[in-house]
């Protein structure tokens, strides 16, 4: 029915997740950290859609779950950006190393 094995899609999702994880942990700019988290959520969505087609019982529910995940990711991006702008107004920086008020 399909020539591509399911593990190829899962491996692609794994690579994208690892890229997002490395970016989220190593980048200093907060906007880039936020968008790396979006990349990780995207990799998870690929997994959901893959199992909705290749799973033991293929059904549309996996795609519905991916849609909910996309919605929550969009809301998270908006709230994250609002927090970032409020922080920038107070601290005049987007460097994640300088946002350490709660450390002291």
Partner 1 sequence: MTFSGEFIAFMLLALAAVIGGVLLLNLTNVVHMIIALVFTFVSIAGIYILLSAEFIAGAQILIYSGAITIIMLFGIMLTKHNDTSEGKPSLWRRLFLLLGVLGFAFAVYIGIYNLDLAPQTNHLHENNTLQIGKALYSKHIIPFELTSVLLLVALVGSIILAKKDEKGGE
Total binding residues for partner 1 by CB under 8 A? 73
User: Footprint of partner 1 on residues 52-71 (CB under 8 A)?
Assistant: 52-58, 60-61, 63-64, 66-68, 70-71
14 CB neighbour count, 10 Å cutoff: 14
Q: Roughly how many angstroms between the first and final C-alpha of the chain, as a whole number?
A: 60
Count CB-CB contacts under 10 A for residue 56.
5
CB 82, min distance to partner 1, A: 4
Distance CA 74, CA 45 (A): 13
Residue among 27 and 102 whose Cβ is closer to partner 1: 27
> Do 20 and 43 touch, CB atoms closer than 8 A?
yes
User: Which residues between 17 and 56 bind partner 1 (CB under 8 A)?
Assistant: 18-23, 25-29, 31-32, 34-36, 38-39, 42, 45-46, 49-50, 52-56
Task: Let me know: does 56 contact 47? Beta carbons within 8 Å.
Answer: no
Task: Choose which of 2, 101, 103, 104 interacts with partner 1 (CB under 8 A).
Answer: 2
Is position 91 an interface residue for partner 1 (rule: CB under 8 A)?
A: no
């Amino acid at each position: 029915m399909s020539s591509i094995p399911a593990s190829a899609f899962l491996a692609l999702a794994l690579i994208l997740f690892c890229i997002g994880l490395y970016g989220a942990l190593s980048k200093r700019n907060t906007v880039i950290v936020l968008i790396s988290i979006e990349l990780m959520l995207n990799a998870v969505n690929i997994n959901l859609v893959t199992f909705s087609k290749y799973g033991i019982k293929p059904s549309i529910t996996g795609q519905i779950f991916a849609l909910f995940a996309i919605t929550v990711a969009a809301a998270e991006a908006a709230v994250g950006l609002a927090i970032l702008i409020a922080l920038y107004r107070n601290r005049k920086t987007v460097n994640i190393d300088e946002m350490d008020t709660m450390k002291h």
